[in-house]
Chain A
Amino acid sequence: MTLELASLYALMLKSRLFEVAVASLWQEGLISGEMHLGTGEEAIIAGVVSQLQEGDALALDHRGTAALLMRGIDPLLILRELLGKPDGLCGGMGGHMHLFSKEHLAASSGIVGAEGPAALGFALSAQFLRPRGIAAAFFGDGAMNQGMLMESLSLAAAWKLPVLFVCKDDGWAITTQSRELTGGDLSERARAFGLSVSDVDGRDVQAVWQAAQAAIERARTGEGPSFLHANCVHFEGHFLGYQLIRAVRHPLTEMPRIAIPLTQSFLHPGGAALQERLAGLRAIIAALLATLRNPRRDPAYDPLRRARAALDIEPADLQALEDGVEEEINRLLESALVEAPL
């Protein structure tokens, strides 16, 4: 398999525009509950998923839409599912955290860390039933502290299972900065479990693709599991409507709602000494500042921009490529919003 940057860029762009459309549907209230977008992590997904073949499996987390889209699942089915329509990918039963495609061996879970055991099972059945088949698991840095995922790393190595564990590290476990609550280094941890480890820049789709190629080949040839540690930013934080981002984006409306009860409680008699109270206040301010300083809005962290800049392509061809993807997504959105046949 050779790296084709233009097609990787097209995959990433399609995913981005798809998810931007999903965000607007969510804002309009057409999607009700949580919505975890993968905007910002497209290079990691594209670099891995573009190399999967028939018989390979995907174990996805609550943020799996981009991977399914890039795996070739009909985007209209996905969009109809997110809208809760009976003709959606899962009949409106699953929603974005529980997307399944049996023919693609792709399963999602809203339980953090559950991708680990799932990938092991897909890999085990591949050893019996699908020669050279592998399983790829996608999860975040927060999941690395989940016991079942750590157990999976160990068992995969012990049984030499054909798994590629992909850690999409954005530094945040929901509203908590991971480094504050993680013992040791994630790559060192995977290495200690006996996995082959590569650290890559998750904003660079070519780097991810190359690291994934080696890891996938290793898995296909029975040499055992690998751990791909790729950093990224999530443009919308953990999920749409993420409280901390709202607070820093709209401080005038959001901050008083946080600050008033906080101040009352801080000054309330009964409780800890001033020093402890100040330490509590500092922790909250630190989380807000970290959200404010997070480079999610820095164009340099946008994997699409980076891929686009690296493209060796005539401007007219690039324009045609981008127009084509945009048109496809617009058409898709139009047909997804048609009322469902009941």
Chain B
Amino acid sequence: MRSMYFTQAIDDALAPAMSDDPRIILYGEDVPMLRRNLLVRFGPRRVRGTPISESAFLGMGVAAAMSGLRPVVEVYMVDFLGVCMDALLNHAAKVEAFSGGKWRAPLVVRAPCGGGYGDGGQHEQSLWGWLAHIPGMSVLVPSTPADAGGLMLAALQHDGPVVFLEHKLLSETMLEFLGTGGRATVQYDLPAEGVKGAVPAKWEALLLGKAALKRTGDDLTIASLGVSVHRALQAAELLEAEGILAGVLDLRSVSPLDKATLCEQVGWTGRLLVVDEDYEAFGLSGELSAVVLEAGLSCKYARVCTQTTIPYARKLEDEALPNRERICEAARRLVM
């Protein structure tokens, strides 16, 4: 079994796909340096750097995708999509509907997301709920190297726009770039299974919108994604010692959402705890409650999310982002 780091796995899955399909090109800010291993294999025509002109290059990606290419456009952080949201909101996500289903934009937007390394509230957001809110957008948030590679392939094969989010605590390259910077003096709470793990000998695309049940438990279902999946798994271990059996469901994809598996699990346990690093209000956590209610399930519900602008100070940041203690507390209240 091969073992890989998180970002290494994504790039490793990209390489054979690029080799098979000359329509796939990569570009974005600093991409020649960030994807240098792909640059020396596929050359500077297909692996390109862009200026800090997000509106132009993301919009370019939409029309390039509409006209025959399969672009993977990188934005430095998901926060910076704020600069160029029009390309996704009003164009990539709309073309299929506007063309009466005749024209689609098979674009992959790859962006680091998430916090936990002290970079402040403009560089540590999750924003997947905000993106998935738009009809026509797919939004993927892998939590392990194997899922990351498999979902990147799924994104490449999908005929519509996909935002592929890469959590910075999982990405060895982004954390090195933005966090440690070569220092041994800083520590981050890194989930080992997310940072490095077994990957298949040959990459195959995962199904879009298929959740993974990471742990079974009869008392409650914790639904989560990204780094929070690992926090939830650690919390579930602590809870088990107290006699509370928590199942953990890794959604992996915000849109499409695996409603069937969610409802199946919650139908069984009767309790749903959503652990979502994204903002609490008007987002994924509330959406999951709507999904189970619409399915006619009656369940107890709680959520552990980010409620405020993410603080810069590490201690405040730890308290603001979902952590094990908050998850355990919420779970205890649910089973009381």
A binding-site residues for B, Cβ under 8 Å: 26-29, 31-35, 81, 84-86, 88, 90, 92-95, 97-98, 109-113, 142-143, 145-148, 173-176, 178, 180-182, 239-244, 246, 254, 258, 261-262, 264-266, 268, 270-273, 275-277, 279-281, 283-284, 287
Contact = CB atoms under 8 A, between A and B. Distances in A.
B121 interface: yes
Interface residues of B, number: 57
Nearest to A249: B182
Contact of B121 (A85, A93, A241): A93
Contact of B120 (A86, A95, A113, A266): A95
A333 to B, nearest CB: 17
B309 interface: yes
A284 B33 contact: yes
Contact of B181 (A112, A142, A175, A241): A241
A276 B45 contact: yes
B314 A32 contact: yes
B41 A271 contact: yes
Given A32-B186, A181-B51, A266 B309 contact: no
B37 A265 contact: yes
B51 A266 contact: no
B312 A95 contact: yes
Given A92-B316, A109-B122, A280-B36, 4 more contacts: A84-B313, A95-B118, A111-B80, A173-B51
Interface of B: 15-16, 18-19, 29-30, 32-33, 36-47, 49-56, 79-80, 82-83, 117-123, 176-183, 185-187, 309, 311-316
B41 A85 contact: no
Contact of A266 (B40, B122, B180): B40
Contacts of A283: 32, 39, 44
A84 B119 CA distance: 11
A186 to B, nearest CB: 12
Contacts of A112: 52
Contacts of A28: 185
A294 to B, nearest CB: 15
B40 A142 contact: no
Contacts of B36: 258, 262, 280, 284
A34 B32 contact: no
Contacts of B19: 270-271
A284 B39 contact: yes
B162 to A, nearest CB: 23
A262 B40 CA distance: 7
User: Chain A CB within 10 Å — which of B46, B118, B178, B181 has the most?
Assistant: B181
B237 to A, nearest CB: 27
User: Chain A CB within 10 Å — which of B43, B122, B312 has the most?
Assistant: B312
Contact of A180 (B39, B49, B52, B118): B49
A123 B41 CA distance: 50
A111 B44 contact: no
A82 B118 CA distance: 10
B33 A280 contact: no
Contact of A95 (B33, B119, B183): B119
Nearest to B20: A270
A98 B309 CA distance: 12
Nearest to B188: A32
A265 B311 CA distance: 39
B318 to A, nearest CB: 11
